[in-house]
Amino acid sequence: MAGAAAMNNKMSFNEAWPILQEEAINKLIHNLEVLEESQLNSQCFTSHDYMRLYTLRYDCVKFDRAEEHDRKEVVLKIDREREGEQIDQAMLKEVMDMYEEMDNNSVKEYYAKGLEEAIIEGTATFYSKKALNWISNNSYENYMLKVVQHELLTVYASKLEEKKHLHLLANVRDEEINLSNKLLISYTSMQ
């Protein structure tokens, strides 16, 4: 029985629904068609069946709520980081790894996909609110300046940092060449 195995593992509603459909709903429909009303209560489900199916349904609802809460927390942490706050990157990675692991142990792979969808939706919401705030609180020129600054800081930050590093290296090389030339001139003038 698939339902018995489900009692030992927490399942999402999408995983548990076929079990509930088969062992509860279809059984009830069949019994309604076959049994008389007076026989339904005594022959439809045993107390063990009731407890098992109720526990399965209850655990699914609890699990789905916890999963939804986790997704919201991940998106909130990412939003805080976007606003410049330092967040625990290792913890965030552990949560994402946990979702990947749940997919590996699941019949259907939707945990990580659900988290990814929540992050994408959260990103769209975050930047839509930010753009709306910028538009309503700034002139056109200031808005465009903020957009360019944001683009430069977020999209091109690593490229700018690389250029800065290369520029510093070039300056160091130029200084080394100048120092070498000065030393050479000093050395030749002493002779």
pLDDT by residue (tens digit) across 22-34? 887 787 777 777 7
* pLDDT for res 158: 67
113-131: average pLDDT? 87
Looking at the chain, the whole-number percentage of residues with pLDDT higher than 70 is: 75
pTM exceeding 0.75? no
- Of the candidate ranges 17-31, 37-51, 58-72, 135-149, the one whose mean pLDDT is the lowest: 37-51
Element (H, E) at 21: none
Report yes or no on 169 lying in a domain: no
Report yes or no on 177 lying in a domain: no
Q: What are phi and psi of 151, to 5 degrees?
A: -60, -45
Report yes or no on 178 lying in a domain: no
33 touches 76 (CB < 8 A) = no
3-state helix, strand, coil in the chain (%, to 5): 85, 0, 15
Report yes or no on 125 lying in a domain: yes
Domain total for the chain?
A: 1
67-82: average pLDDT? 85
Biggest CA–CA distance in the chain, Å, is 122
Q: Where is pLDDT greater, at 146 or 66?
A: 146
Report yes or no on 183 lying in a domain: no
Q: What is the pLDDT of residues 124-168, one digit of tens each?
A: 999 899 888 888 998 888 888 888 887 777 667 667 677 777 777
Which residues constitute the domain of residue 26? 2-155
Report yes or no on 179 lying in a domain: no
Report yes or no on 181 lying in a domain: no
Handedness of CA 57, 58, 59, 64 (dihedral sign): positive
15-20: average pLDDT? 78
Report yes or no on 119 lying in a domain: yes
pLDDT at 6 over 50: no
